[in-house]
Chain A
Amino acid sequence: MTTDHRQRRRTIAVATVAIGLLVVAALGGLAIGPTPISVGDIVGDILRHFGIGHHHLSPLNATIIWQLRAPRMVLGLLVGAMLAVAGGAYQGVFRNPLADPYLLGVAAGAGLGATLAIVHDGGAVNVPTWTPWLAFAGALVAVALTWAIGGRGVRSTTSTLILAGVAVASLLTSAQTYLQQQASAQSIAKVYIWLLGSLAQASWSSVTTILPYVAVCVALCVVAGRALDIMSVGEEEARALGLPVRRVRTVVILASSLGTAAVVSVVGLIGFVGIIVPHIVRLVVGTSYRRILPLSVLVGAAFLVGADTIARTILSPTELPLGVVTAAIGAPVFVLILSLRRGARV
């Protein structure tokens, strides 16, 4: 059997496992909670929606599943898929294994936008409803600033973009810190909670808000896999091979940034998904972005829904911030990957 055949078989096996994980995580996200509902009942009710069988959940359980857990689970799938594929695409386009979806200032911009909204609202009990929109605007302004500083001009390179991202993130973070310093303790607490990320505010409305962004941006990133493989020989050689490097870079960065801004504005800042998931996938299926990106979509979605299930149940009724759980799982996994890859190029 040739290496290519082995690689293809391994990719199919990994994709099968990833789909299995995704199904398990999704069903776990629906079944596990303060009111346990059996997987059989849930599957029966899902099948009934497709005209198969007549299994009904009780009205209370149906409300729990379809109004509380299902939107949260679907939102988790979308957020995990988007962050993971954006991280993988950034790692490809910047040829930098430490790239994550927040590289160009999305996190700092969204953080500043959310802080502005929360601090402006003063002592209100809930986070103001326009927080996501200001976070979204902040994230887009940050990326636009980074692009304006580092992404234009004849001599722009990925390095200048990364440096511009660092500068913009530092500037916006300092503004956010100043705002927090001026704010009340209650506002600071709310900003802090928002920064750690959570799916607790999930609803079908939030799902439908980010779905178009995630669908288009994930598709663009996955399609770019072949171009990112060509870019692995460096920008000059890729251009010599006939790749429109600037156009590819622009599309990938815009799609990754826009999709990340959309999900971050709804669920806050969730770390580690965008950096560790593509690395886990790379470790198993090799360095081709044609394999890494679609598999990152599946694994990222499963990872985030699984982490959210842990976040909302492990200390029930208290809910852990999702960012804490993804980092608590992500950090040791990341260290494990690094130790496994010692001596090899990441």
Chain B
Amino acid sequence: MSVQVTGLRVTSGKATLVDGVNLDIEKGTWCTIIGPNGAGKTTLVTAMAGLRPHHQGQVTIDGTDIHSLGERERARRLAFVPQHPTVPAGMSVLEYVMLGRTASHGLLRAPSSEDRCIVDGVLERLHLTTERHREVSSLSGGERQRAVLARTFAQGTTVVILDEPTTGLDVRHQMEVLELLKKEVDECQLTVIATLHDLTLAGVFADQLILMAKGQVLTRGQSADVLRSPALSEAYDMQLRVLSVDGADVVIPVR
């Protein structure tokens, strides 16, 4: 499914948090939003997920305005992972991942055999089968983030929006999470929209980068072009250099 954002404006009181954002994200692509703190990345993705009211503009998935959909219908089309997912006390990995099937089985029915089959498959894909009966709160940071991804994939949507999915993870687990996402993009034609602070990882994994600052999109395009654009240093208000190492662009700050 393709995602379009047209003239989006989000305000909070008198402050404008996001203004005049237009995006067209094609099916099966990975689009990463980068920018300094306070750029409006989180506001933009929560508005795109239909979780925050906007004051102007429209967000559509395959032509359908997401704000015209009820929660259940919306959750069948797109999944959203916040920056700090809540881990409920006492809930097993299996129960947690099964939450992803909420929109499919409804509130009054117990999960069906099809739901259980889907969840089993996702647990296996994300190497969580042996952890299925452990409490989510007892998992390590990397395992926990895999459980969050498993819940997201169990939702069975073709659009996934993630806000800083690698927060608090070491570099190995950051790579692991991003590789798992990349695999889903390649194998299942998943459309991924993510925010990331690590510019190098953003460039390595994304098909497209969107650079934001002060609530507006400064530039967008192929990763190499955006990372080498003068707008990058302007957005962060500091000097950034891009080095090419083994074919990958590495962004380093200049003191």
Contacts and interface: CB of A to CB of B under 8 A. Distances in A.
A242 B133 contact: no
Interface residues of B, number: 31
A240 B79 contact: yes
Given A242-B72, A242-B74, A233 B51 contact: no
B99 A286 contact: no
B71 A287 contact: no
A4 B132 CA distance: 10
Contacts of A244: 70-72
B71 A245 contact: yes
B88 A232 contact: yes
Interface in B25-58: 46, 49, 51, 53
Interface string B154-171: 010000000000000000
A186 B141 CA distance: 64
Contacts of B74: 242
Interface string A217-250: 0000001001101101110110111111100100
Contacts of A2: 133
Given A244-B70, A245-B71, A288-B95, A237 B103 contact: no
Interface string B77-105: 00110100110111110110001101100
Contacts of A242: 71-72, 74-76, 102-103, 155
A248 B133 CA distance: 28
Contacts, number: 75
- Most A CB within 10 A of own CB, among B70, B82, B90: B90
Contact of A243 (B49, B102, B133): B102
Interface in A241-271: 241-245, 248
- Most B CB within 10 A of own CB, among A3, A242, A245: A242
A223 B108 contact: yes
A238 to B, nearest CB: 8
B71 A232 contact: no
A287 B90 contact: yes
Interface string B53-68: 1000000000000000
A251 to B, nearest CB: 10
A240 B91 contact: no
A4 B133 contact: yes
Interface of A: 2-4, 154, 223, 226-227, 229-230, 232-234, 236-237, 239-245, 248, 286-288, 344-345
Given A230-B99, A244-B70, 17 more contacts: A3-B133, A229-B91, A233-B85, A233-B99, A234-B86, A239-B51, A240-B79, A240-B80, A242-B74, A242-B76, A242-B102, A242-B155, A243-B71, A243-B72, A248-B107, A287-B88, A344-B89
Interface of B: 46, 49, 51, 53, 70-72, 74-76, 79-80, 82, 85-86, 88-92, 94-95, 99-100, 102-103, 107-108, 133, 137, 155
